[in-house]
Every structure is written in structure tokens, then in C-alpha cells.
Amino acid sequence: MIGNIFLTFAFLAAMFSFVMYFLTLKGYENTIKYARFAFHAAAISVIAASAFLLYAILTHQYQYEYVYNYSGSDLPTGLLISTFYAGQEGSFMLWTFFTVIIGLILLDYSSKRGDLEPRVMVTFTLALGFLLFMVSPLLKSPFNYLWNEGAFIEMKSLNPAYLNLPFLQKFLMTDQNTGQFFIQMNKEFHTALVSNGIAVNNFIIQGKGLNPLLQNFWMQIHPPVLFIGFAMALVPFSFAVSALIKNDYKSWVSQSLPWLLVESMVLGLAIMLGGYWAYGVLGWGGYWGWDPVENSSLVPWLISVAAIHTMLVQKRTDEKEEGSRFVKTNLILSIFAYILVLYSTFLTRSGILGDASVHSFVDPGMLVYWFLIFFLVFFAVIGIGGIIYRWKFLVKNFSEGVNVLSRETALFTGSAALIASAVIVLVGTSAPIFGTIVQTRFYDQTNMPIAIIIGILNGLSLLLKWKQNDGKDLLADLRPVLLITLVLTILTSFLGKMNNIGLSIFVFSAYFTIVINLQMAYKIASGRKLFLGGYITHAGFAIFLLGVIATAGYSKTTQVDLPRNKEVKVLGYDLKFAGITPLENGKKFAFDVEMINGSSKKVVSPVMFRSDFNNSLMREPDISAGFLKDLYVAPLGYSDGSESDSSNGSQVTLEKGKSIEQNNAKITFTEFDITDKARDAMMAGTDFEMGAKLKIEYAGKVNDYEAVMKSVNGSREMVPVEIKGANLRITLQSMDAGGKVVLNVQDLSKTNEAPKQTEEILSVEVSIKPFISLVWIGVLLTTFGVAVSSVRRFKETA
């Protein structure tokens, strides 16, 4: 109750602050002090509500539906804290919390700059009001009580001391399909508990717990950083609207640019933290899978980075009084960056991507679904409508024309390339709305030439002067750079045995950027150190691209069975399954694999365990990391040797659109079949049914099949696919958020062979990821470079 009071008061205070800022813009006197007071009151209330939710989680207040659904008494403190944002209600709450923190800083910043405060804060407080309405008791409050919706509580979650209460039988429910017993926690039952002097949080002693996929260190880091980025995207949007309100476009870019730099730094870092989590823990086999949920965060980041470069042009032309350039472009990009954050939220939290990504949230209900649409459309109308309203003035007073051979053109063209990439990713990400799914090769093939253009322009823009250039001077500056770049490219192509001209050009563009940025950084290293930020950023991004090429083009992957204590030659290593180590009192098992390469020996220990949360077999890879390459070992399955291999079949991992062939049959995994109801049930740890759709080509015919996985009363049941002509039985073993499925493919012609005792066998997928370290080094350098640039730009506005 107290949490909802805080949130309701915060919503009313935020809307009052909005009205007071609006009246200030209309010329009313003394309203700004009321606006500030109301905003501070809203901020304090949000902080208090957040603290209360954290307290409820840490003290296991299971009377709150959100706390019961996502936390558990057996979680370590760090993961217990992370359940704050494990569900939709909490993640919206976290977004709101960071919005008020950033709002307090923005209020202080804008109040020192003339009439900027009311123009910026009127939009900011309105957006805050929308977020607060989202977490209000009417929509997705994390403080709603269990008994409001009549939740069903499993018997294992209840305090055994109260199971003999006489009134309990009246509320005891049985699942006819599974035989499981539940207590229906409705208002009548709550009244019975209260009348008997029993507190709900004493009656319920265990929550449903945190999904095992989220029980990792990076769960404590990645989502908060992402929501800081989302919250900060509102600031450039507010600055753009403030410029439209005043119809003055001279100062807003200088004021907005440092905020935009921080937003792009934080959002980009969050995206790659998610990539590292996926690579190192979740077992996706890579850091990026073009999953719709990943893409939805990437698009606003691309637009933000594009806006940075065109803002630099306007800032420079404003300072030199050469006529503001790209004013319309900067307004549009700043507005669309936030609109695309809202669109990302709609895609990932409306349930609309349920069939396309097992990474997305479950269906939040129709009321929230339509409110998300209204939120998106409302702010799109504010931003785009404002530009349309001022369009004639903008066209009349600001020209976009620049000299072709100039730094302005190079920066604008680079921004255009980033926008093109964003449009491509946006189209592919939105495809599931229209009933189709885009394969990953679509993104790879369309973005590769764009990345090459960006790499060339990245370096070229630094050699070009502002306004205009002499072609001869430019060629003279380019000769040594091109020579060094060409030598590095040829050397890399020779050592890497590149036979793809596209990859070679990609590498050339990356080296070109690195060489020029190092050259420029060397020239100013002894002087203006804060000016190094841009060069570090661009060089870091180019190093990142080299890592992308190395891992995407030259990774090697194979699946292999490792008999106990026998060496098997795999990708140049001798691998030996050495034994099993119990972890966490036998809840998990590490499978120790020795890697022998000459005189060097290392041990990697991938983990498998059966999760009580949803009765799923969970797999965690292990990595032997190095600068030159990573050896990546992901577990697929384990046989203790009690049955014959022929009857067990073989385990294979398939990505969407990938195929294998066995017994002259071609088996292709096409898509998941996961309904919203099944997703809800799986996340809740209750009964569910889902499947993987397969296209099987055999004897000249192509047919569609579906391998189904069921969870009934805590037991896993598989419904296999049988291809009688090919003597094959295909069983779905597991699926993951990276868009992969693990299938057991069994040759039925061998099932009648006499069973025989076999060896213990660990089935693994082994990959070599060359120079993936460059990806992480590039990300760190890029982040550091943007941080340095942000400091410089904030100092310029002080």
C-alpha cells in the first residue's frame, strides 16, 4: 500500500510540475518555483518507492505479487537485489528511478542557463509522468498484493507450520492435469489469514525465484546500465523540443551535445555488456546474434551516434558564424533517438516478438499494450509535429548545402551511413509484426558495405579541412596513410589466408581509420589531452571492427563426443573429458575438460544442471581466453554409459535457418513455436508446451514438422518427430535465447541392436574464436574515448 501511495503522489507531483513549467512558458510569474518544488517532490517519492521495493525484496515480503513472482529466499544478496528489475514492473520502475536522477541533474544544469529550464523540463516532466503512470496501480505497479488477482501458490512455498489450519481446505485447489495442489490466495483467503493473526509473509516463506538464465553476475550490471541509457535519451529529445518551442536553434546543440555523448556511451556500453553476457555465460556461442531484442536497443544507439557527428558540424558553423548547418537533421535525429527507445520498449515488452525471440518479455496485457502504443505515438506527435510546425522557418533560414570536398560532407555522409544501417536493422527487427522473420545473413550482407563506408569516412574526415579542400594537398596527406594501410592489409590478408575481397576491403577500411587517428592523436598528445577523446573513440571502434571480422569470418566450430579419460583431436587441440566436479552442494555439475596443446595444458569446466525453476536442463559454457584466440566449450549432453549410443542418438545444435543431413534427410530448423501463454507458464515455472518447427527434405519431398517439448507437473515430456522412410526420430532437447535448438537425432535402424555397456561420454560444441579480444578491447577504448569527449564538451558549456 505504501509503495503505491509513493508512486501515486509522484505521478501527481510530476504532472503538477509539468503544468507549472507550461504556465511559466506562457509568461505566468512565480510558477517556476512551484514547478521545481513539485519535481523534487516527485523525485523524492520515486526514490522512496524504489527504496521500499528493494526493502520488500531483501526482507522477502511475499505478500507483494511482484516480489513473490521474481525473488526467492535462497538467492545470494547480489542476485536478490537484481530481482528488482527481473520483471516488467520492476524494469519500468528502474527506468523511472534513473529518469528522476537524471532529471535532478538536468534541472540544476538548465536552471543556470537563462530561460532554458522551463523549455527543457516541460517535456522532461511530461515523459516522467507517462513513466509513472506505467508503474501506477492501474497498470504495472510492483506493489500490487497477491490476493488482488487471486494468485495460485504452490504448496512448497508455504510455511509447513500452517498447513493443518482448518480453514485451509476450503481454498485448496488441485490441477486436474498434473495432480499438483495449490492455495488460491484471493481476498477471502487473505481475510481468513488476517482474522487468525497470520501475516502473509509468514505464511508464504519462498518465492518462485529468479529464472536460472538470469542468475549471473552480469544480471547485476547490464540492465541498470541499459536503463540509464534509455533514460538519458530523453535529454537530447527535450533539448530539441526546447529549441522548437523558442524557435531559436543557435545554442541548443552546444547544450545538448555533451548529454548526447554520455547517452551514446552508456547505451553502447550496455549493448556490449549484454553481448559479453551472451557470449561468456548464456552459451549463445557469440556476442551478437541479431536477435530482435538486441537490435531494438542498437537502432537508437546508431541514430544517436549519427546525431553526434552532424551536431559537431552545426556547433562549428554556429561558432564561426558561417550559417548553421544540418539544423533540421539534428532536430530529427535527436527526436527519433528517443522515439526509437520507446519503440524498442514496445517491441520487447508488448509480447509482440514472442514468436521471434525467446529473449523478449511476456505479454503484459491489452491495457499496457495500448498504453505503450499511446506513449510512443504521443511523443512522436510532439517531436515530429513540432518539426512540421516550424518547417517553413527552418527551410527558409537554414541551408544544408556544403562543399563536396569538405569535413562537413564527410561527417554528414558518415551519419547517413549510420542512419541507413539503423533503417535496415529497424526493418528486419519489425518484420515479426508483419508475420515474417529476417535471417541473420540479411543483416550481415547489408551492413558490411555500410561498415566499410563508415571506416573510410571515419579516417578521411580527419584529413579534410572545414569548408573546402585542395585535392592535391589531400592526396599528398593521403599517400603515407594509404601506403601504411595497404601494407597492413596485405600482411593481414596473407597471414589470415583471406580469399574474400569483401573482407579484405573491410580490413583496409578499419586499418585506414586506425592509422589516421593514431597519426592525429600523436600530433596533439603533448598538448590538448581532452581533444584525444575523438581519436581514441574512432580507433577503438576500428579495432572493434577488426575483431568482428576475425570472429565472424574465421571462427571454427565442431561438435564432438568426449569419452571419459580419452584424448580426442579437436581443432588442433587434444581434448580429454577428465571428470565431474559437483558445485553448490550437488545442485550443479562442472564437467572438467583438459585442453592439451603441445606442452601446454589447461582445464575448462562447462556446467550443466537441472533447474528446479522450470525443470529445464541448463548449460553454461566455459572459455579459455587469450589475446590471439578463445577456445569456447559449450556442453550439449552427458551419457553415463548405461545405454548404447545407438539407441540414445546424437545431439546436434542448430541455429535458425541452418541444416544438417542424416540418412539422406536434410533437417532445417526454421523457427520457434512459443505462444504467449506458454512463455508466461515457463517464466512462472508452471506447466507449458512449446516447440521447434522443422523443415525436412527427404526422397525429393519437403514437409513441415514440429518437435514439441512439454513440462507437466515438474516432469519433462518430449514429443518427437519420426521420419519413417529415413528411419529417424528427432527429439527437441532444449532451446536458448540465442535462437538455437538442441536436437537429439536417433537412427531407428539401430534401435534393435543389443544394448551394451558403453563409456561415459560428454558431448560438447567446441569453437575457436580468433582475436575476439579485439572486440572487447575496442569496446573499452571506444567507451573511454567518448567519456573523454563528454568531459571536454561539458567544460565548453560551463
Give the model confidence (pLDDT) of 379-407 as tens digits: 999 999 999 999 999 988 887 666 777 88
- Nine cell digits for residue 714: 515438474
Q: How far is the first Cα of the chain from the last one, in angstroms, to the nearest whole number?
A: 44
> What confidence score (pLDDT) does residue 286 get?
72
C-alpha distances (whole Å) from 732 to each of 212, 617, 619, 740, 774 are 20, 12, 15, 11, 36
Q: Three-state DSSP class for 675?
A: coil
* Closest CA relative to residue 291, chosen from 278, 301, 300: 278
- Is the confidence at residue 645, as pLDDT, over 50? no
> What confidence score (pLDDT) does residue 186 get?
87
* Closest CA relative to residue 684, chosen from 692, 676, 694, 696: 676
Could you read off the pLDDT of 571-609 as tens digits, one per residue? 989 999 999 999 888 888 999 999 998 888 899 999 998
Average the pLDDT over 657-669 and give the result. Answer: 82
- Is the confidence at residue 358, as pLDDT, over 50? no
Higher pLDDT, 791 or 352: 791
Mean pLDDT highest for which of 118-132, 182-196, 426-440, 583-597? 118-132
Could you read off the pLDDT of 180-222 as tens digits, one per residue? 678 888 888 888 888 888 888 889 999 988 888 888 888 999 9
* Closest CA relative to residue 709, chosen from 675, 663, 738, 748: 675
> What confidence score (pLDDT) does residue 779 get?
95
Average the pLDDT over 706-713 and give the result. Answer: 69
Crossing angle of helices 532-554/440-463, nearest 10°? Answer: 150
Residue 386 to residue 331: CA distance in whole angstroms? 10
> What confidence score (pLDDT) does residue 294 get?
82
DSSP string, 326-355: SHHHHHHHHHHHHHHHHHHHHHHHSSTTTT
Could you read off the pLDDT of 517-533 as tens digits, one per residue? 999 888 887 777 888 99
CB 65 within 8 A of CB 151: yes
Residue 716 to residue 709: CA distance in whole angstroms? 7
- Is the confidence at residue 422, as pLDDT, over 90? yes
> What confidence score (pLDDT) does residue 60 get?
93
Count each helix (H run) and each strand (E run) in the chain, helices first: 22, 22
- Is the confidence at residue 307, as pLDDT, over 70? yes
CB 146 within 8 A of CB 207: no
> What confidence score (pLDDT) does residue 176 get?
60
Tell me the pLDDT band of 724, cut-offs 50, 70 and 90.
confident
Q: What angle do CA 154, 158, 162 make, to 5 degrees?
A: 130
